[in-house]
Amino acid sequence: MTDSNSKMPAGMAPGLIALGLATAYLVALLGAEKQAVIISLLVLGIGAVVGAAWLGLFDRVSRSFADHEDALGGSAIVAALALAAYFHEDHFVLLLVVTVLLTSVATLGLNVQFGYAGVLNFAGASFFGVGAYTSAVLNAYTSVPHLIVLPIGGVIAALIGSMLLLPVLRTRGHYAAVVTIAFALLFKTFLEVNDVLGGPQGMQVKGMNILGWSFNDNIEAGGITISFYMGYFLLSLALLIAAFVLVRRLERSWIGLNLDALRLDETAASCFGLDITRWKITAFLIGNFLIGIAGALFGMVGGFVGPNNYTFADSLILVSILLLGGIGNPWGLVVATFIVVVVPEKLQTIQEYRFLLYALMVIGVLLFRPEGLLPRPVRRYFPRWRP
Amino acid sequence: MNPLLQARGLMRRFGGVVALDGLDLDVAANEILGLIGPNGSGKTTFFNVVTGIYGADAGTVTFGGADITRAPSRAVYKAGIARTFQRSRLSLPLSIFDNIMIGNHQHLNQGLWFNLMRRKAFKREFEENYAAARALVEVFEPAMADRLFEPVAGLPMIDRRRIEICRALISAPKLLLLDEPSAGMTHEETAELMDDILLVRERNKNLTIIIVEHEMGVIERITDRCVVLNFGRKIADGPYREVAADPQVQEAYLGVA
C-alpha cells in the first residue's frame, strides 16, 4: 500500500484527463479493425503507460482518484455510457464491453475473498458458472422474474461455496487454495456427467425479459437501430456500480479492517477479539454472491452454458486480473479486466497464445510492479474527511 | 482480597521440554508485577497460555474469579486482558489508526448492515474513535498524533512499540501483558516508554500490568513486586531488591556451579 495521505486534497484535473484519454483510447482500440492498426495502438498504449509511470504521472492520477472518487466515478459512468452510445450498433463491441463489466463484478468478489480476507479462491470461474447454470435452469423451468434470478444465482453460488468452507477453514494458505482447485476440477466433471444439466453439451439460457421487454431483440428508435446488447450493457453497468459501491464501503468500514487484520496476522487478530472463522465466512460468502450474480447475468447474455465455459483455466485468468490490477484496489481491477479481456479479443493473431500473454503479463507485473498496476492506497474511511 | 489473575499448577510441555512446570502465580488488582527469569524459563509461554494462544496441559487460570484456562484468545480479550508481543506484531501495510483500532474490536459495531448501509452513524462512531485514538497517541508521542493515517511500515522501532501499546490500551483493559517492551530500543527510549505507560496508568487506576523484561533497571523502577521463573517454576517472589539478593535467583541467572 502506498501513502496517499497528503494534507492538501489533490486536484480533480489529473483524474479527469486520465479518464478522458483512456476513454478516447478505448474507443479507438475497440473500433479498430485492421490488425496492424490494433498492434500499433497497443504499442502506443504500453509506451504511454510506461512513460507516464516513469514520469510519476500515475501517482498524481491515483491521488486525484482517491480524493475525488465520487465525482470521478460519476465521470467514469458517463464515459462508459458515451462509449456504448458510440458503438450502439456494434454487437461485437458491446458484447465485449458487457463481458468486461461482468468479469469486473466477479473479480470484485474475488477481491473481497483474496484481497481483503486472504482466502485464495481458484474456483472463481466455477462459481461464475454456478450463477450461469442457475439462470439456465430457472429461466427454462420456472417463471421466476429474470431480475430476481440474478440474486438467486448469487445466493446459490454462496450456498455451494459454503460446502467448501469447512475444508477451507481447516487448512491455511496454499492448502486452502488446493481445496478450491479440487472443487474447480470436480465441478467440471460433475457437469459433464449430469444429464439434467445438459451434460457435456450444456444448456440453452433464455435471454433476459423484464415485464415483456425482451433483451434479445434489437431496439428500433426513430430510424436508428440499437443493438440488443444495449439492454445487457445498461444492466451490467448498474450491477458493476452496485458491486463497486458495496466493495468500497466494505473496505472502508470496521469489517474491512477486520479482514485486513486477519489476513496479515491471524494470531494477533484473535488476541484482540476477532472471530477469525466468522469473518472468513463472511468474506467468502459475499465474494461468491457477487461472482454468482455476475455469472447469472452472463449466462443470459451468452444464451448458453456448458462445462467447458467455466474451467480451472478461466479461474486462473480471474486471479491473474487481481494480481495485474493491484490486489485490493477496485479501480485497478476494472482497468486490469479491460486489458485481460479486450486485448486477446482484438488481437486475433495471438488468440492461441492467450495464456502465454497472460503469463507474461503476470510475471512482468510481479517483477516490476509487485503491488499491481494500481497499488492499493492506505485505507481512508472517508476520503474527504480531514481531522 | 481475591487476586485478579490466579494460576494454579499450570503445566505446558513442548515435546520433551517442560515450559511451565506446575506454576502458581497470583496477581493482585492494580499492581505492576515484573515477571523475570533467564531465557527459556517460561515467561512468554505463560503469556501465551493466559491469552489462549497455547492450551494448558494441566492446571487452571482464573481471571476476576472466572476460569479462562480453555478460553479462546478472543474470549480472553473480551474478559479484559490485552497484550503486546515480544516481536512486534503490527500490520505493517495498515495505517497507525487501523492498527490501534484492531485493539478496540469489542467496542466497534461489527454489524454488516451498520457498516455498509448506515454510513452516517458509522461516521459518528469513526470520529469518536479517531478522537480516542488521537488522545491516546498524544500521551506517547504528540508528533505522531497528526500522522494517524500513515502506514506503520515506515516507522522506527520505538514508534512501533508505542503503537502496539496503544493498540493494547485503547479498549481500556483491566490487565495489560507487556512482553519485553524494551526489545530493540535504547535505554533512553525504554525509559521514555515506561514513563508514558505510567502516565496512562495514572489516569486509569484500575489497570494492572504484568511486564516481562530483561532490562533490570526498568523492573526495579516500575514494578511493585517481582516473580522469578526458572525452568517453568517460580523460584522467588517479592519486591525487586529482595529477589535480586536471593541466592537462588543469582544462581539461575549466573549459572553458578
Phi-psi region of B59 (alpha: psi -120 to 50; beta: other; left: phi over 0): left
Answer yes or no: is pLDDT of B257 > 70: no
pLDDT at A82 over 60: yes
Confidence band, pLDDT 50/70/90 cuts, at residue B1 = low
Higher pLDDT among residues B201 and A151, named by residue: A151
Q: Using an 8 Å CB-CB cutoff, list chain A residues near B115.
A: 249-250, 253-255
Return the exposure string of B16-47: e unless at least 16 CB atoms fall within 10 Å of the residue's CB, then b: eebbbbebebbbebeebbbbbbbeebbbbbbb
**B243, pLDDT greater than 70:** yes
How much is the CA Rg of chain B, to the nearest whole Å? 19
Q: Which range among A206-220, A302-316, A356-370, B227-241 shows the weakest confidence by mean pLDDT?
A: A206-220
Domains, chain A, ranges and CATH? Answer: 90-353 (1.10.3470)
Average predicted confidence (pLDDT) for chain B:
88
Residue A208 has a pLDDT of: 78
pLDDT digits (tens, 9 = 90+) for B123-163: 999 999 999 999 989 888 888 988 999 999 989 888 898 89
Residue A383: the pLDDT is: 82
pLDDT bucket at A1, cuts 50 / 70 / 90: very low
Q: Which of B53, B68, B149 to mutate to test the interface with A (most CBs of A within 10 A)?
A: B149
Taking contacts as CB-CB distances below 8 angstroms, the residues of chain B near A382 are 123, 126
Higher pLDDT, A321 or A218: A321
Each residue's pLDDT tens digit, A49-64? 888 888 888 788 888 8
Beta strand segments in chain A, E: 203-204, 209-210, 213-214, 219-221, 224-226, 304-305
Q: What confidence score (pLDDT) does residue B256 get?
A: 54
Kindly report, residue by residue over B59-81, the tens digit of the pLDDT: 889 998 888 888 899 999 999 99
**pLDDT value at position A284?**
92
Instruction: Report residue A201 CA to chain centroid gap.
Output: 27
pLDDT value for B127? 92
pLDDT at A158: 94
As a whole number of angstroms, the distance between CA A237 and CA B250 comes to: 74
CATH number of B1-80+173-257: 3.40.50.300
pLDDT of residue A8: 61
Would the CB atoms of B148 and A268 count as touching at under 8 Å? no
Residue B255 has pLDDT above 70, yes or no: no
Task: Indicate the residue of A5, A271, A282 with minimum beta-carbon distance to B51.
Answer: A271
pLDDT band at residue A3 under the 50/70/90 scheme? very low
- Which of A168-172, A291-295, B94-98 shows the lowest per-residue confidence on average (mean pLDDT)? A168-172
Mean pLDDT of A104-127: 93
Q: Which residues between 25 and 84 in chain B have a beta carbon less than 8 angstroms from any beta carbon of chain A?
A: 51-53, 72-74, 76-78, 82-83
Work out the pLDDT band at A98, boundaries 50, 70, 90: very high
Of A153 and A221, which is predicted with more confidence?
A153
Domain extents for chain B? 1-80+173-257, 89-170
Q: Does B207 have pLDDT greater than 60?
A: yes
Q: Which residues of A touch B92 (CB under 8 A)?
A: 264
Q: Average pLDDT over chain A, rounded to whole?
A: 87
Residues of B in contact with A380 (CB under 8 A): 149
| pLDDT tens profile A254-303 | 999 999 999 999 889 999 999 999 999 999 999 999 999 999 999 999 88
A310-365 pLDDT per residue, tens: 888 889 889 999 998 888 889 889 989 998 888 888 887 777 787 888 888 888 88
The complex's ipTM works out to 0.89
- State percent of chain B over pLDDT 90: 28
Smallest Cα–Cα separation from B41: which of B60, B17, B58, B59? Answer: B17
